[in-house]
Amino acid sequence: MAHSTHETASAASPTAAPATTYVRKGFGLKAEVQDTLAADYTGHLVDLLRARDYALTVGDTTIRLAREFGFCYGVERAVDYAYQTRLKFPDKRIFLAGEIIHNPHVNDKLREMGVVFLSVSGKGFDYSPVAAQDVVILPAFGVTIQDFQTLRDLGCVIVDTTCGSVLNVWKRVEVYARDGYTSLIHGKYYHEETRATASQVEKYAKGQYLVVRDMAEAELVMDYIEARAGRTPPRPVLSREAFLEKFSVAASDGFDPDVHLDRIGVANQTTMLARESLAIGAAVGEAMARAYGESHKAEHFRTFDTICSATQDRQDAVLELLREPIDLMVVVGGYNSSNTISLAALCAEQVPTYHIADPDEIDVALNAVRYRRIARHHVEDTMQPWLATAGALRVGITAGASTPNNKIGQAVARVFAIRGIDPADVT
C-alpha cells in the first residue's frame, strides 16, 4: 500500500478512505519525473511563438497562436501524478478509470508505461480486474461516488487526480441536493465529469438531477415549467411522458418533472461554452419568474457560474485573436475533449475552422487535412487541397486544455511545411 502523508481523504472527496490507500497530492516525486514530462510534451516552436509575441512570420506566411492555450494546471497536475504513480510503484499493476484527460497522445503514453485503462460500465467503470494490491488512478474528471465506494471497498491504492475546479462544482451540486433543489446541469450526460458531478446528488435520499446539453434542451425544461404554471410558452410543450423519454438517460432515477422542477439549482460541466452556460442559468431563472413571480424565483432558484478559469481564459483568448485578420483557424485537441470542441465552435462562427485530434491529421505531401466538422452530430471530413501554397496567408492556432505543447508545435511545423517553409529554418 502507499504510505503517504501528503493528504488523506478530505471533505471534498466523495467519501472517506483510509489514509494509507488514498493519495491526492502526489508522492513528492515531481522533480524526478520532470525531465520525462518535458521530453514527452515540450514544444520548441511553441516556446518560439511565445518569445515572438505569439506570432511567427516567414515570407507571406504568418502563424498566430492564441495567448492562452493547451495544458491547464489541472491537466498538468493529473499527468504529473500519473507519471509519479508509475515511478512510485514500478512493480505494481496500475489501472486508470477511463482516460486521464481527453488527449489520445497523452493516453497512449500512459499505455506505453503499462497503465491499464478500465472500460466504462453503466454510469461508471468496470473494476472487476482490480485487486486489493493494485493501484487505481482517478482521472482529472473524477469518478462517481459509487465508483469511489467500490474502490474503497476493494482496499486498493487510490491516486486521485480530480481537478479542483471539478471539486468546486461537486460541492455546489451537493449543497443543492442537501437543500432540496434539483441540480440542472449544463453538460453532456455521457461525459465522465458530468456523470461524476451528477452522482453527488445521491448523497441525499431525495437528491435529483437533470442534464441539458444546450439552450435548446434548456428551453424544453423552461417551457414545461411555464406550462405547469398555466402559462402558454411560445413553443410546443412536451407531455410528461415525452419529457421523461427525452431525458431518460440524462436524469436521475425517479426524476419526475411534475415534482422536481419546482426548486432548481443550475450548475455546469466545467468545460462547456461559458457564454451558453451563463445564458442558460439566466434564462431558467427568468422562466421561473414568469411562471410564479419574482418572490418564488428568489426562494426556488439558484445559479452559479462554475466554468473553470482555464476554460474561460482559452475561450477569451480565441475571441481576442479573432479580432485580427485571420484566414483560418486550426484547433488541436481530442475529438472527445469538450473544452476543445467549445473552442472550435467559437472559431467556426467567424472563420473556416479545422479541429484536428493530432498533427498527423495534416498531410504535408498531399496538402490535405482530416478534421472534425463543427456540428451537433460531429462527422470527420477531409479537405484536399487544403492551404493555398502561394500568396499571403494568416493561420490562427489554439488548443484545448488537454493538448501538450509538442503537438501544437508539430501542427505549426506542418502548416509551414505545406507553405514550402522548412520548420528547422523558423528561428
- Asked if the domains at 42-71+310-421 and 166-303 fall in one CATH topology, the answer is yes
Spans of all domains in the chain? 22-34+74-162, 42-71+310-421, 166-303
How buried is 123 (Cβ within 10 angstroms: 0-12 exposed, 13-18 middle, 19+ buried)?
Answer: middle
Question: Cα dist. 364→155, 244, 340, 415 in Å?
Answer: 51, 50, 23, 8
Where do the DSSP E strands lie in 181-320?
Answer: 182-186, 209-212, 264-268, 301-303
Tens of pLDDT, residues 374-415: 766 678 899 999 999 999 999 999 999 999 999 999 999 999
Spatial distance between the Cα atoms of 210 and 207, rounded to a whole number of angstroms: 11
Residue 382 identity (one-letter amino acid): T
Spatial distance between the Cα atoms of 346 and 331, rounded to a whole number of angstroms: 11
Catalytic status, residue 99:
no
Tens of pLDDT, residues 361-384: 999 999 999 999 876 667 889 999
| C-alpha 151: how far from chain center | 23
How buried is 38 (Cβ within 10 angstroms: 0-12 exposed, 13-18 middle, 19+ buried)?
Answer: exposed
Using DSSP's 3-state secondary structure scheme, residue 182 falls into strand
Please state which architecture CATH assigns to domain 166-303. Answer: 3-Layer(aba) Sandwich (3.40)
Spatial distance between the Cα atoms of 377 and 259, rounded to a whole number of angstroms: 32
Cell of 340: 476543445
Please state which architecture CATH assigns to domain 22-34+74-162. Answer: 3-Layer(aba) Sandwich (3.40)
Contact 6, 160 (CB under 8 A): no
Contact 275, 283 (CB under 8 A): no
**Angle (nearest 5°) at CA 125 between 41 and 93:** 60
> Within a 10 A sphere around the Cβ of 122, how many other Cβ atoms?
9
- Stretch (H or E) spanning 141: none
Spatial distance between the Cα atoms of 61 and 152, rounded to a whole number of angstroms: 55
Give the pLDDT confidence score for residue 365 in this predicted structure: 96
> Within a 10 A sphere around the Cβ of 207, how many other Cβ atoms?
23
**Angle (nearest 5°) at CA 407 between 143 and 332:** 70
Angle between helices 44-51 and 405-418 (to 10 degrees): 80
Residue whose cell numbers read 404554471: 229
Catalytic residue among 68, 99, 192, 193: 193
Give the pLDDT confidence score for residue 306 in this predicted structure: 80
Give the pLDDT confidence score for residue 20 in this predicted structure: 53
Mean pLDDT by 10 residues, the chain (427 residues): 37 43 93 92 92 95 96 94 97 96 93 96 93 97 96 96 95 97 96 96 96 97 96 92 98 97 96 92 96 95 87 94 97 93 94 96 97 79 95 97 94 96 85
Give the pLDDT confidence score for residue 379 in this predicted structure: 83
Question: Cα dist. 232→224, 235, 268, 292, 373 in Å?
Answer: 10, 8, 28, 13, 37
Give the pLDDT confidence score for residue 308 in this predicted structure: 86
Domain spanning 42-71+310-421, CATH class:
alpha beta
Contact 418, 398 (CB under 8 A): no
Using DSSP's 3-state secondary structure scheme, residue 158 falls into strand
